[in-house]
Structure 1
Amino acid sequence: MKSKFKTLSCNDDDVLSYNGSLVKFSQFKQQLENELWQKVNYLLTKENNGCNSKERIYELINTSFGYCNISVSLSSPEEGNDCEILRLGATSWQKGKIRTATSIDFFPNEKDSTKIAKIEFNLEFLSEEHQVKQPKLSFDDMMYAA
């Protein structure tokens, strides 16, 4: 299926029907962030020496050569996932696919020696009417095409 996903712009109070649940857009972004932090925590739980995940990451950033930037990403499949969006003021749901890419970057702020965790969301939507579907061939069409 060829597609042209576009950047998803929603108000925080717009509603998404996704994975069998209804959530406000703001809650959807929070769920993505929480899942990303869970993955980071999972990566760093072994032999944590009493430090939480953020502290361990900041320990990893400092090296004898300088600073190391660390990035963790969480992405949906390339083809996206089915969802529906109900926008404020709309009269009906908009069906389509959503594609997500969330990342968290850890890096030191060299100016004042603080440590920064920056989270970015890249959310894209492909409405059902813009999806290009492959024509379905019947059995007879396949037989005569050969």
Structure 2
Amino acid sequence: MEDGFKAIECNDGDVLDFGDNTYKIAKFRQAMDISFNSKLEDTLNEELNEELSRQGVEIKDSPNMNWFQEGINCEILALGSQSWKKGKVKINISVEFYIEEENVQITNSNNSEITEPESPLDDLRRMIHE
């Protein structure tokens, strides 16, 4: 992601705060999974196919066209390969968290700011040179 954000790994026990509501990552992921396995998925499949068509990408309609669960039958010709390979293309949706600020500042009892060193080895190098 652009704009200076940095993605971090989230554990199931981590908590997201959406103003008045907080949720553990595990509950949020479970709710997203269930949501995408419901009628929402049917709507997304239909809208995705319509948008692809508007962009000039026509996918042969099949009775159970499902980008998110079963995938769509297709073939791929990879660079360097001598033949087409049959398979499916499937869309996976991931939830990512991006940190807005990278600078970590700690204040001690004298209210002076201490910033994290550029490298954890900087402190060792200073001690060696002293």
* TM-score class normalised by the smaller sequence: 0.3 to 0.5
TM-score by length of 1: 0.35
The structure showing larger relative contact order (alpha-carbon pairs under 8 Å, at least 6 residues apart) is 1
Q: Which structure has the larger Rg over C-alpha atoms?
A: 2
Name the TM-score, length of structure 2 as normaliser: 0.38
More strand by share: 1
